[in-house]
Amino acid sequence: MRATLPTATLEGSAFVSYSGVTEYPPDVINLSKNPAAFAGYNVEVVATDHPELSGGGLQIGVVGEPPVTLLEEWREDRNEWVVVWRT
């Protein structure tokens, strides 16, 4: 599913997800005795909490209950987004 939201009221309410990483860049030494130590954060441009979907797209989160103007569903059989609900 994907939703279209008017952006005029979303200032300060929308965010992209971050993921903790355990691999240090080659020029940084890991001083922890735990090889899987926390190394920092990176932006998850594509969600990693589920398999990649054919429809693709950036995943963001929104705080609160913003109005939704369009709701679509990816239809694998048609290889396209299909409108499920519209205001």
Beta bridge partners of 61: 15
As a whole number, mean pLDDT of residues 50-69 equals: 74
As a whole number, mean pLDDT of residues 1-24 equals: 81
Distance CA 38, CA 25 (A): 12
Compute the C-alpha angle 2/7/8, nearest 5°. Answer: 155
- Quick one: how far is CA 32 from the chain centroid? 30
Closest CA to 69 of 4, 7, 10, 8: 4
Residues 21-47 have pLDDT tens digits of 777 778 877 777 766 666 676 666 655
**What's the chain's length in residues?**
87
Q: Residue ranges of the domains in the chain?
A: 2-86
- Quick one: how far is CA 65 from the chain centroid? 18
